[in-house]
Amino acid sequence: MRLSQAAALVRAGVEETLSYMSFPREHWLRIRANNMLERVMREIRWRTRVVGNFPDGQSALMLVAARLRHIAGTKWGQRCYLDMERLRQVGEPAPSATTAQTA
CA–CA dist 24, 90 (Å, integer) = 8
The answer to whether the beta carbons of residues 27 and 82 sit under 8 Å apart is: yes
pLDDT at residue 103, as a whole number: 46
The answer to whether the beta carbons of residues 60 and 48 sit under 8 Å apart is: yes
DSSP string of 30-61, one letter each residue: HHH--HHHHHHHHHHHHHHHHH---SSHHHHH
Q: pLDDT digits over 17-32, tens only?
A: 887 777 777 777 777 6
pLDDT over 70 (residue 59): yes
What contacts 68, CB < 8 A, 6 or more positions away?
A: 40
pLDDT over 70 (residue 61): yes
Average pLDDT, the chain: 77
Q: Confirm whether pTM is higher than 0.85.
A: no
